[in-house]
Amino acid sequence: MEQHRFLFELERIAKPAYDCVVLTGRLAYHTQLAAEQKLAAAAAAVEHPLVIVDTSGLQFLDSTGLALLVRFFKRVVSAGRAMAIVVRENAMIEKILLIAKLNRLLPIAADEQQVLALAPLSSPGPIEQAVLLEAWQQRRAEGGDGSG
């Protein structure tokens, strides 16, 4: 019946240069148990130094969902990896992420290419979150993109 309203899905895709975690549905209070399990499993399965979370398929994000994203971010960073969020054309989700000031923790980009174009990603080895964020902020200050 109304079960589809509370659906949350996660797909982890290992790309050549990064892991992509694609979120769809609702990341909210009513999906928190399943979402927490799926996000924990995805964090444990990450293979690359960079994780890009694609939120373009999210239909709804509340404060519980934001907390889950922050918890996922902390897991990724504590494992020595860096993370960015991609919003594509999802202006509602981008606005929520910016209101929550997540752009102070990680890049919030329109697409993967904006993240992959950052200089720290071209060097081999681990990527520090602080270095990734600094490169992102510098690119934005130079007018390199119009997002987050």
109-130 mean pLDDT: 85
Assess whether pLDDT exceeds 90 at residue 59: yes
- In-domain check, residue 148: no
Residue 83 contacts residue 77 (beta carbons within 8 Å): yes
- In-domain check, residue 81: yes
- In-domain check, residue 146: no
Label the pairing between strands 19-27 and 8-14.
antiparallel
- In-domain check, residue 78: yes
- In-domain check, residue 40: yes
Residue type present at position 103: N
- In-domain check, residue 90: yes
Assess whether pLDDT exceeds 90 at residue 132: yes
Which CATH number belongs to the domain containing residue 73 in this structure? 3.30.750.24
* pLDDT greater at residue 98 or residue 145: 98
User: Average model confidence (pLDDT) for the chain?
Assistant: 91
Q: Considering the entire predicted model, what is its pTM? A: 0.91
Q: What range does the domain containing 42 cover? A: 3-141
Assess whether pLDDT exceeds 70 at residue 103: yes
pLDDT digits (tens, 9 = 90+) for 11-31: 999 999 899 999 999 999 999
- In-domain check, residue 147: no
Rounded CA-CA distance 64/66 in Å is 5
Strands of the sheet with 19-27, listed across from one edge? 8-14, 19-27, 50-61, 82-86, 108-109
- In-domain check, residue 57: yes
Tokens representing residue 81 in the block? 């990896």
- Range with lowest mean pLDDT among 18-32, 75-89, 108-122: 108-122
Task: List Cα–Cα distances, 134 to 107, 108, 120, in angstroms.
Answer: 9, 13, 10
Could you tell me the pLDDT band of residue 118, with boundaries at 50, 70 and 90?
confident
How many folded domains does the chain comprise? 1
